[in-house]
Amino acid sequence: MASRLAFGLALCAALIGVAGAARRDWTGSAACGSCHPKQLASWQATRHAMTRDRFAERPAGKCLSCHATGEAPAGPAVAVEVGCEACHGAGAAYAADDLMRNKVAAQALGLADLSTPKARTALCMQCHARATKGEPFDPAAPVHPVKP
C-alpha cells in the first residue's frame, strides 16, 4: 500500500511539476538527522555546518546563495549553514520514511539525485567554481564521510 501511495505521489508530482520550494518546505538539518544520525554527526564537523562562524553578522543575500540553505538570493535563507537541504533539496515533500525508501518518488518530490560523481560535481561547482581563500576545491572529496 505504501509503495502505491509513493508511486501515486511521484506520478502526480511529475505530471503537475514540482514548483520551487517555499519556506515551509524546508525541514532543517536536524530533521534530516533524525533518520540519518551518522550523516548529521559527520556533517556537523564540516565547514559547511560551521558557515555562520565565518560571518560577524548576517551576510548579504548574494552571499547566502552559497553560504546558506534556502532560496537566497531570490528569497529567504532558512539557515546560515550549508545544510542537508542545500545539496539534497527542500525535504518536507519527500522526508516521510516510506517516500525516502522509494528513490523514484523521493526524486519526483524534490530529492536531488547525487548518485553519480558527475551529478555531485555539477552541484558542488555551483558554489565552488573558484578556490576560496586560496584553498583548492576537490569535488571528489566526501562531504560527510560516515565511518561504519
3-state secondary structure string across the chain: CHHHHHHHHHHHHHHHCCCCCCHHHCCCHHHHHCCCHHHHHHHHCCCCCCHHHHCCCCCCHHHHHHHCEECCCCCCEEECCCCHHHHHCCCCCCCCHHHHCCHHHHHHCCCCCCCCHHHHHHHHCCCCCCCECCECCCCCCCCCCCCC
- Output the nine-digit C-alpha cell for 126: 555551483
- In this predicted structure, the answer to whether residue 10 has a pLDDT above a threshold of 90 is no
pLDDT for the residue numbered 4: 58
Judge whether 77 and 90 are in contact, CB under 8 Å: no
Q: Which residue has the higher pLDDT, 95 or 75?
A: 95
pLDDT for the residue numbered 118: 92
Q: Which residue has the higher pLDDT, 53 or 147?
A: 53
- Average pLDDT (11-23) is 47
- In this predicted structure, the answer to whether residue 3 has a pLDDT above a threshold of 70 is no
User: What are the residue boundaries of the structural domains of the chain, listed by start?
Assistant: 1-18+93-113
pLDDT for the residue numbered 147: 64
Res. 24 pLDDT band, cuts 50 70 90: low
- Output the nine-digit C-alpha cell for 62: 548574494
- Output the nine-digit C-alpha cell for 93: 515533500
Q: Which residue has the higher pLDDT, 114 or 5?
A: 114
- A 10 A CB-CB count for 101 gives 12
- Average pLDDT (29-33) is 95
Percent of the chain with pLDDT over 90: 49
Rounded mean pLDDT of the chain?
82
pLDDT for the residue numbered 143: 76
- In this predicted structure, the answer to whether residue 61 has a pLDDT above a threshold of 90 is no
